[in-house]
Chain A
Amino acid sequence: MLPSAVDALTAALAHVGNPSSLHTAGRSARRTVEEARERLAASLGARPSEVVWTAGGTEADNLAVKGLFWARRTADPARRRLLVSAVEHHAVLDPAFWMAEHAGAELVLLPVDADGVVELEALREELEGHPDAAALVSVMWANNEVGAVQPVEEVVALAHRHGVPVHVDAVQAVGQVPVDLTASGVDALTVSGHKVGGPGSTGALLVRRGLDLTPVLHGGGQERGVRSGTLDAPLLASFAVAVEAAVADREEHAARVGTLRDDLVRRVLDAVPGAVLRGPADAARRLPANAHLTFAGCEGDSLLYLLDAAGVEASTGSACQAGVPRPSHVLLAMGVGEDDARGALRFSLGRTSTAADVDAVLDVLPGAVERARAAGLTSVGV
């Protein structure tokens, strides 16, 4: 966590009080929450009244997909199509699949190109081919695995032309690329604390004024009845401080990690035969901290072990049930073959990453790939 976020959290922890209570302690907590709300809104181009606190990005995504679908279908029963990009995070995809299975939604997965960027032409066809049938478009700001920044502006323009609201999961984008609710025209925007150096279990859905949203959590009526549940003032204060700091520092941070990332990618492609960069090669269309590579013939989990044993922490993609690695749905949607997709590694650079870290990766990666390839071959035989 960012030191300033830790400070904000620990300072606020000393004060008890339920922000919904009217006594003095409650009012003090309420003030902490509302200051955090103003701070978060200001950082992301939203008004304070457009912030709905949630317990993380997953809850915000669920609220957006389910809440917008239900609100739209209630207003117009013909609108039951969910247009969702095929490379969304599971926090969007799984609610969308669930709505298709249980709530009468018709799910349309929007294809992406080989870089993982959503096909605008496909979105146009879906909107024009089924006029007045779409409830919602959900396209992430930037993909968490391959780093592809999505054409949010164009998606919004297309959707709004057909009167369809747009949800954008911006969990990966905040602090990496400029994110602004009002300027982007996005109707609902998911943000999360833990990706920007804030505490876990914090998040928010920024909901454009006037947009109807059916609640998913019912109870005490907090957050204007859209999201019930007692608010945790210290966590929210810390979350807002972290977002504010990440946004303020964004340009400098992006330039610094972008340079390191470019160096890492170039050197890995040079040093490791068969390494392929996935996602856009153009740095401007990619999250600056993200490097995603596949190593044909390797299993990602073998690489992970070998790198971890050598002190390098990377990840393969999203872990699934019982931690069993599966080829990433993002890579498969990009047209990457299942075997190549198994040998995927994502390196994320952070605030503490240095040129020495890049050197350390290059010291161990070529040998690890060679060894993982040998191990991959043994487990294919017989």
Chain B
Amino acid sequence: MRVLAALSGGVDSAVAAARAVDAGHDVVGVHMALSRTPAQQRTGSRGCCSIEDAGDARRAADVLGIPYYVWDMSERFERTVVADFLAEYAAGRTPNPCVRCNEHVKFAALLDKALALGFDAVCTGHYARVVAHDDGRRELHRAADAAKDQSYVLAVMGPERLARSLFPLGDAPSKSHVRAEAAARGLSVSAKPDSYDICFVADGDTQGFLRDRLGSQPGDVVDETGAVVGTHDGAYAYTVGQRRGLALGRPAPDGRPRYVLSVEPVQRRVVVGPAERLEVARVTADEAVWYGAVPAPGTACTVQVRAHGAPVAARVRAADDGTVTVDVAAGTGTGTDGGPAGTAGCGEGAGLRGVAAGQSLVLYDGTRVVGQGTVRATVSPAGLADARAHA
């Protein structure tokens, strides 16, 4: 096959490209330029936007003996990822820019251009497995290394794009194996630090980035009764489930920690309350993508709502309009979904907590990705009980 290997300048994509070469494919390396004004060097744990990264990508291509090109995707990236990131936060939702980048840039603009130029597939360093069946069906599965699994951020691409994607690292036992392989292959990026943060937020300070780009929009922090318990400089900087950084002047009357329950940017209001109010019994998502047949109503699956969350047992109902609803029975989950960083700790057997509109909902059957949607609304256990009582 003619394979376009996306080279970020990091170790994963370099080893993935090397494995594609080993597999006998005709491989061409492409580095996507995502910023019009790239920094000279990487700062901190930032990945894939600096001239240094482009140089590392070129060097990896040299070592592999494959042609190397830089494609300017900066305009597309700004429009579909950065602008979306800002608009979603401004609307009180919690976007995942890596999901959007996969949806609009990597497995859309890049893949489309590659196909138009005569390539058969795009290869990336993502950790996920593709299982191909004899009848041509291809399934997206979790990576062999659960700690590095990236099937969650890839699920948005859908089956047609999956059919054109190669993830050679899906069966890698661990990142350290990949680093060792890079070193053995003479790839100088073998010891390069991992990137964790959002690549376009230079110093990892997402709140500062939002403040710079969206400006100050001061308002009140209120409790569930509407009583003002603090102020904020912009509701967009808060995420449902967040506990840290609320800077509330006085403690709750019962002394228990408070969490962000909802973000209402139009009213410039952030509502806080106790942890149990974050529990979610039902999630509705839209723009559903399915791998294979749409599941029958009531089909059991596991769901995941954040990149590093644990799967939670649920039952799924898909509607004809592209929405999908999952019900999570409280206390019956297979584990805890972890919650966003610095948020409500989840007890054993807890279901979903602190789910915000905008997050990606991914449905699994074991390790297989069944489908994906974008969270639009959630219902609490009490709310679901009420709804059932009235049904």
Give A residues with C-beta under 8 Å from B. 301-302, 304-306, 308-309, 321-325, 371-372, 374-375, 377-379, 382
Contact across chains for B54 and A322 when beta carbons are under 8 A apart: yes
A304-B69, A323-B54 known; A375-B116 Cβ under 8 A: yes
Contact across chains for B70 and A324 when beta carbons are under 8 A apart: yes
A-side binding surface: helix, strand, loop or mixed? helix
Does chain A have a CB within 8 A of B210?
A: no
Q: How far is the CA of A49 from the CA of B108 in the complex (A)?
A: 61
Q: Which residues of chain B from 138 to 188 have any CB-CB distance to chain A below 8 Å in the complex?
A: none
One of B38, B69, B70, B112 near A379 (C-beta < 8 A): B112
Residues of A within 8 A of B80 (CB): 382
A382-B104, A382-B108 known; A375-B117 Cβ under 8 A: yes
Residues of B within 8 A of A372 (CB): 117
One of A302, A325, A375 near B70 (C-beta < 8 A): A325
A301-B69, A305-B28, A324-B70 known; A379-B117 Cβ under 8 A: no
Closest B residue to A322 by beta carbon equals B54
Does chain A have a CB within 8 A of B33?
A: yes
One of B33, B115, B118 near A324 (C-beta < 8 A): B33
Residues of B within 8 A of A371 (CB): 116-118
Q: How far is the CA of A378 from the CA of B38 in the complex (A)?
A: 25
Q: How far is the CA of A302 from the CA of B58 in the complex (A)?
A: 17
Sampled A-B contacts (13; CB under 8 Å): A301-B69, A301-B70, A302-B113, A305-B67, A306-B118, A322-B33, A322-B70, A323-B31, A371-B116, A375-B113, A375-B117, A378-B112, A382-B80
Does chain A have a CB within 8 A of B51?
A: yes
Shortest CB-to-CB span from A368 to chain B, Å, is 9
| Chain B 67-79 near chain A by CB (<8 Å), digits 1 or 0 | 1011110101000
Closest A residue to B72 by beta carbon equals A324
Contact across chains for A321 and B51 when beta carbons are under 8 A apart: yes
Q: How far is the CA of A272 from the CA of B237 in the complex (A)?
A: 54
Give B residues with C-beta under 8 Å from A. 28, 31, 33, 36, 38, 51, 54-55, 58, 67, 69-72, 74, 76, 80, 104, 108-109, 112-113, 115-118
Shortest CB-to-CB span from B77 to chain A, Å, is 12
One of B38, B108, B112 near A322 (C-beta < 8 A): B38
Residues of A within 8 A of B74 (CB): 324
- List 18 additional contacts besides A322-B55, A324-B33; criterion CB under 8 Å: A301-B70, A305-B28, A305-B67, A306-B117, A309-B67, A322-B31, A322-B54, A323-B70, A324-B72, A371-B117, A375-B112, A375-B116, A378-B112, A378-B113, A378-B115, A379-B76, A379-B109, A382-B80
Q: How far is the CA of A302 from the CA of B109 in the complex (A)?
A: 14
Across chains A and B, the number of contacting residue pairs, with CB separation under 8 Å, is 62
Shortest CB-to-CB span from B363 to chain A, Å, is 26
Shortest CB-to-CB span from A314 to chain B, Å, is 13
Contact across chains for B116 and A321 when beta carbons are under 8 A apart: no
Q: How far is the CA of A321 from the CA of B40 in the complex (A)?
A: 9
Residues of A within 8 A of B69 (CB): 301, 304-305, 323
Q: How far is the CA of A306 from the CA of B58 in the complex (A)?
A: 19
Contact across chains for B117 and A302 when beta carbons are under 8 A apart: yes
Closest B residue to A326 by beta carbon equals B72
Residues of B within 8 A of A302 (CB): 113, 117
Shortest CB-to-CB span from B9 to chain A, Å, is 10
Contact across chains for B71 and A301 when beta carbons are under 8 A apart: yes
Q: How far is the CA of A308 from the CA of B29 in the complex (A)?
A: 13
Shortest CB-to-CB span from B80 to chain A, Å, is 8
Closest B residue to A308 by beta carbon equals B67
One of B67, B72, B116, B117 near A325 (C-beta < 8 A): B72
Shortest CB-to-CB span from A258 to chain B, Å, is 31
Contact across chains for A305 and B117 when beta carbons are under 8 A apart: yes
Shortest CB-to-CB span from A210 to chain B, Å, is 42
Shortest CB-to-CB span from A295 to chain B, Å, is 14
Q: How far is the CA of A305 from the CA of B114 in the complex (A)?
A: 11
Interface centre among A308, A309, A322, A325 (most CB of B within 10 A): A322
Shortest CB-to-CB span from A262 to chain B, Å, is 30
Q: How far is the CA of A371 from the CA of B113 in the complex (A)?
A: 10
Q: How far is the CA of A380 from the CA of B180 in the complex (A)?
A: 40
Residues of B within 8 A of A382 (CB): 80, 104, 108-109
Q: How far is the CA of A375 from the CA of B28 in the complex (A)?
A: 16
Shortest CB-to-CB span from B37 to chain A, Å, is 8
Shortest CB-to-CB span from B389 to chain A, Å, is 45
Residues of B within 8 A of A322 (CB): 31, 33, 38, 51, 54-55, 70
A308-B67, A378-B112 known; A323-B58 Cβ under 8 A: yes
Contact across chains for B113 and A379 when beta carbons are under 8 A apart: yes
Q: How far is the CA of A372 from the CA of B71 in the complex (A)?
A: 13
Residues of A within 8 A of B115 (CB): 378
Residues of A within 8 A of B72 (CB): 301, 324-325
Shortest CB-to-CB span from B199 to chain A, Å, is 14
Residues of A within 8 A of B71 (CB): 301
Q: How far is the CA of A308 from the CA of B71 in the complex (A)?
A: 16
Q: How far is the CA of A114 from the CA of B34 in the complex (A)?
A: 33
Residues of B within 8 A of A378 (CB): 109, 112-113, 115-116
Shortest CB-to-CB span from B357 to chain A, Å, is 23
Shortest CB-to-CB span from A115 to chain B, Å, is 28
Residues of B within 8 A of A321 (CB): 38, 51
Residues of A within 8 A of B76 (CB): 379
Q: How far is the CA of A127 from the CA of B54 in the complex (A)?
A: 44
Closest B residue to A372 by beta carbon equals B117
Shortest CB-to-CB span from A310 to chain B, Å, is 11
Q: How far is the CA of A88 from the CA of B76 in the complex (A)?
A: 31
Shortest CB-to-CB span from A290 to chain B, Å, is 24
Closest A residue to B74 by beta carbon equals A324
Q: How far is the CA of A309 from the CA of B109 in the complex (A)?
A: 21
Residues of A within 8 A of B58 (CB): 323
Shortest CB-to-CB span from B162 to chain A, Å, is 19
Q: How far is the CA of A164 from the CA of B117 in the complex (A)?
A: 52
Residues of B within 8 A of A375 (CB): 112-113, 116-117
Residues of A within 8 A of B31 (CB): 322-323
Q: How far is the CA of A306 from the CA of B2 in the complex (A)?
A: 12
